[in-house]
A and B are shown apart, each in its own frame.
Chain A
Amino acid sequence: MANSILIHNPRAPFSQGSGLKASVLDHLAGKVVGFIDNTKPNFNHLMDDLAVTLLEDYQVRSVIKRGKRVQSIPAPSAVVDELVAECDLVITGSGD
């Protein structure tokens, strides 16, 4: 039976909690919906189609479409600030 030794843990503790509570709306009707296009292929089309569906079928008041230059960088802070100020719901994209 080999002896045991003490070592430093190379791993950092990762945050797994919910410091931020995700807010959830009661309904979509009358709400302002924002989009951040992540520039991945087809997300722009999904954004357009989803906007139509939300306006026609779910009676959202208006949509605001914004984007970023490329998918692997954050949206500009001005875009984030605008959507936080103007929207009840913001929809973003992730993945291919």
Chain B
Amino acid sequence: MAVTVCSTAFEVLGRRQAASLGCAELPIVLVPHPFGSISRSALPKIAKEVAAQIANLMAEKNTSRASTVLVDHCEMLNVSSDVEIFHRLCIEQKLSDGLPVIPPTPERVQKMLAQSARKPEEVIARLAPAFGDATVARIATNAVMAGCTPQCLNVLIAAVEAIACPEFNLQGIQATTNPAAVWLVVNGPIASALGVNGGANCLGQGVSANVTIGRALRLIMQNIGGAFPGDMDRATHGQPGKISLCCAENESVSPWISLHVERGLSTETSSVTAVGFSGTLNMNIHSKNAHEILRSIADAMAHGPSNDYWCGGEPWIVISPEHAQILSEAGLSKNEVKQHLWEGSKMSASRMADKDLERTRRTRREELGEITAHTKLSISRSASDIGILVAGGEGTHSVYIPGFGNSRSVTRAVDAI
């Protein structure tokens, strides 16, 4: 027998998750939310109440509990052709991200599917937390809705493969209270073929490929993965990057090997890398001195409430071409930049709140030994866990992209058309 102890605010997630895993009858006992804020002295009373709830479950063994809810599902839907009515339907049925979508008619979906050699019914992955089947046809349907051109399909298929890898921890990213989102980085020939922007304003608006590819993945995560805000998506605030974040690497101006080559692919291979991230922070650094730039970036990375520090994460830096040039001319390789940032961003554990230091002690004990307030915590388990991407246009700005923490980015090759 299994019992889950769940704080009241997470009951919906607990029950929906159990049902998605085929165990709708999983017994759940509730404790007050926020449970972590309850004083130590109050916990023995709650423990007795939890024990009583568990005992009651056994007493009620033979009473029936509402469990199985079969949801009708049709592969095709009959909807109004009026754009405003269709938009309202998508909002009411929670099929969109809140913005208008393009109706995925059979003709449009078929045009998209023609770009892939894969069968429409092929299941690329089952996506957490609802574990819906991401078939090629459903990926194409969501891509149409997001406004993607048909040529984007293979990037999205590779992206779905990437986010479904265990080390990416899609379950955590989809269901967390953190503002966790997926950032897609496109490398190789397909980036220019699709017009994915890696230059000026590459993390912003204005280029269709960037916005629509990122948006399509969000719709896939919502419609196939089942993480709708307030339901199984438990984000406290979320962040704008949850709507869409996709860019290319500015390979032509980078002084270093590109991300996909760093990960073992050839320069001629097209790839997409999925990164679980928590936001973006501009770092405006006018210095022309490499070590000053590195010190400034490292200082920006170190902050007490960071998810990367308490679990040993995977932070990313989008280095502007200007900064990259200065660092390269100072003789620094990409790995040396990572090493400098890793050393320079070590942070005194005393900067954490007591409860966060307590969980850091438990989480990183095997890696770091006993952690005291004086321990210098590294942001990641090794320097190689820091991600570096050269992207952006002219300007003295680089961007710090804190990781989700318990996630590792995954790179997948994109099928050739």
Contact of A5 among B43, B44, B103 (CB under 8 A): B103
Identify which of residues 30-60 in chain A touch chain B, using a CB-to-CB cut-off of 8 Å. 39-43, 45-46, 49-50, 52-54, 57-58
Binary CB contact string for chain B from 54 to 89 against chain A (1 if under 8 A, 0 otherwise): 110110010000011111011111111110010000
**A60 (CB) vs chain B CBs: closest residue:** B51
**A31 (CB) vs chain B CBs: closest residue:** B1
Cα A7 to Cα B403 with chains together (Å): 37
Q: Assuming the A-B contacts A10-B141, A15-B22, are A45 and B40 also in contact, with contact meaning beta carbons closer than 8 angstroms in the complex?
A: yes
Report A-chain residues with C-beta under 8 Å of the C-beta of B23: 18-20, 22
Binary CB contact string for chain B from 110 to 140 against chain A (1 if under 8 A, 0 otherwise): 0000000000000000010011111101101
Report A-chain residues with C-beta under 8 Å of the C-beta of B149: none
Q: Assuming the A-B contacts A8-B76, A95-B33, are A24 and B57 also in contact, with contact meaning beta carbons closer than 8 angstroms in the complex?
A: yes
**Minimum CB–CB distance for A44 against chain B, Å:** 8
Contact of B311 among A2, A70, A96 (CB under 8 A): A70
Report A-chain residues with C-beta under 8 Å of the C-beta of B134: 12
Whether the pair B71, A70 counts as a contact (CB closer than 8 A) is no
Whether the pair A95, B2 counts as a contact (CB closer than 8 A) is no
Identify which of residues 1-56 in chain B touch chain A, using a CB-to-CB cut-off of 8 Å. 1-10, 13-14, 19-27, 31, 33-38, 40, 43-44, 46-48, 50-51, 54-55
Cα A19 to Cα B58 with chains together (Å): 21
Chain A interface secondary structure, helix, strand, loop or mixed?
A: loop
Q: Assuming the A-B contacts A2-B82, A49-B47, are A9 and B74 also in contact, with contact meaning beta carbons closer than 8 angstroms in the complex?
A: yes
Cα A57 to Cα B359 with chains together (Å): 30
Count of chain A residues with Cβ under 8 Å from any Cβ of B?
A: 55
Whether the pair A46, B31 counts as a contact (CB closer than 8 A) is yes
Report B-chain residues with C-beta under 8 Å of the C-beta of A69: 311, 363, 366
Cα A42 to Cα B69 with chains together (Å): 34
Whether the pair B58, A16 counts as a contact (CB closer than 8 A) is no
Chain B interface secondary structure, helix, strand, loop or mixed?
A: mixed
Cα A46 to Cα B61 with chains together (Å): 25
The answer, yes or no, to whether A62 is at the interface (CB within 8 Å) is no
Count of chain B residues with Cβ under 8 Å from any Cβ of A?
A: 95
Whether the pair B1, A95 counts as a contact (CB closer than 8 A) is no
Contact of A11 among B44, B58, B67, B95 (CB under 8 A): B95
The answer, yes or no, to whether B362 is at the interface (CB within 8 Å) is yes
The answer, yes or no, to whether B327 is at the interface (CB within 8 Å) is no
Report A-chain residues with C-beta under 8 Å of the C-beta of B40: 42, 45
The answer, yes or no, to whether B219 is at the interface (CB within 8 Å) is yes
Whether the pair B80, A2 counts as a contact (CB closer than 8 A) is yes
Whether the pair A28, B1 counts as a contact (CB closer than 8 A) is no
Whether the pair A72, B55 counts as a contact (CB closer than 8 A) is no
Q: Assuming the A-B contacts A8-B109, A15-B19, A27-B58, are A46 and B5 also in contact, with contact meaning beta carbons closer than 8 angstroms in the complex?
A: yes
The answer, yes or no, to whether A91 is at the interface (CB within 8 Å) is yes
Whether the pair B109, A50 counts as a contact (CB closer than 8 A) is no
Report B-chain residues with C-beta under 8 Å of the C-beta of A22: 1-2, 23, 25-27
The answer, yes or no, to whether B169 is at the interface (CB within 8 Å) is yes
- Report A's interface with B, CB cutoff 8 A: 2-28, 39-43, 45-46, 49-50, 52-54, 57-58, 67, 69-70, 72-73, 88-96
Q: Would you mind naming 11 contact pairs between A and B with Cβ atoms under 8 Å apart?
A: A2-B80, A8-B106, A8-B141, A22-B2, A24-B57, A25-B58, A41-B35, A42-B38, A46-B5, A46-B47, A94-B5
